[in-house]
Amino acid sequence: MEILDTPESQPDAWRRPEEILENGYNFDVGLAVSEGFDMFKKELWLFVGYTVVVLIIGIASAVIPLATVILAGPLNAGFIIAAHKIQSKEEIEFGTFFKGFDRFLPLMLYSIVSGVLIAVGIILLVIPGIYLAVAYLIAIPFVYFYHEIGFWKAMELCRKAVTQNWWSFFGLAIVNILIALAGALALGIGILFATPLIQCILYAAFRQVSKNR
């Protein structure tokens, strides 16, 4: 198995890449959902407010080619960063959600590259696209928190780690789809709650893999 280089300044809060790939981890879908919900409800209205801003930016940027894809990574990272601070018992404010732009380039590159790879996989044989969509399910926190190894190695770390429990993550993806559908059916307004909840669940899933101490 290929072992990724470990940056000297890798935060102590996270397992080092080789630990994840060599030693594996236990993954519990139900635990990810319950922990994600707990994080979400602690700052519910901040999450909802930020979701409104993200939707407005998405609508406004739709007229510019590729703008939505370029902004998707940093904007979605905002949910992850807020969830991390909540889990770490740190205070958050509205500006916290925009910290993803501090690592704009790697998050943008992840968004573009993963989108292309998944699209190609679906076009060619469908199954590779589905595999990659699940394998990159928690790639944003990997790219953000493991940024010092580079966006591509962080993506690969995520893919290899998720592959160890791919079917469980597939189940998590189905749960998130159901949450999104429920939000869309609730007069559309429910999406304001479903979107941040899903992101908090994904962060909780990332924590199980990375073993936040």
pLDDT at 3: 38
90-117 pLDDT, tens digit per residue, is 999 999 999 999 999 999 999 999 999 9
Residue 18's pLDDT band, with cuts at 50, 70 and 90, is confident
Residue 13's pLDDT band, with cuts at 50, 70 and 90, is confident
24-40 pLDDT, tens digit per residue, is 899 999 999 999 999 99
**Could you tell me the pTM of the whole model?**
0.90
Has residue 46 got a pLDDT over 90?
Answer: yes
- b/e burial code for range 43-61 (CB count within 10 A of at least 16 → b): beebbbebbeebeeeeeeb
Domain boundaries, the chain: 27-210
The answer to whether 39 touches 86, Cβ cutoff 8 Å, is yes
The answer to whether 167 touches 29, Cβ cutoff 8 Å, is no
155-186 pLDDT, tens digit per residue, is 999 999 999 999 999 999 999 999 999 998 87
* Segment 128-143 mean pLDDT: 95
Has residue 151 got a pLDDT over 50?
Answer: yes
Q: How far apart are CA 96 and CA 9, in angstroms?
A: 23
pLDDT at 191: 92
pLDDT at 24: 87
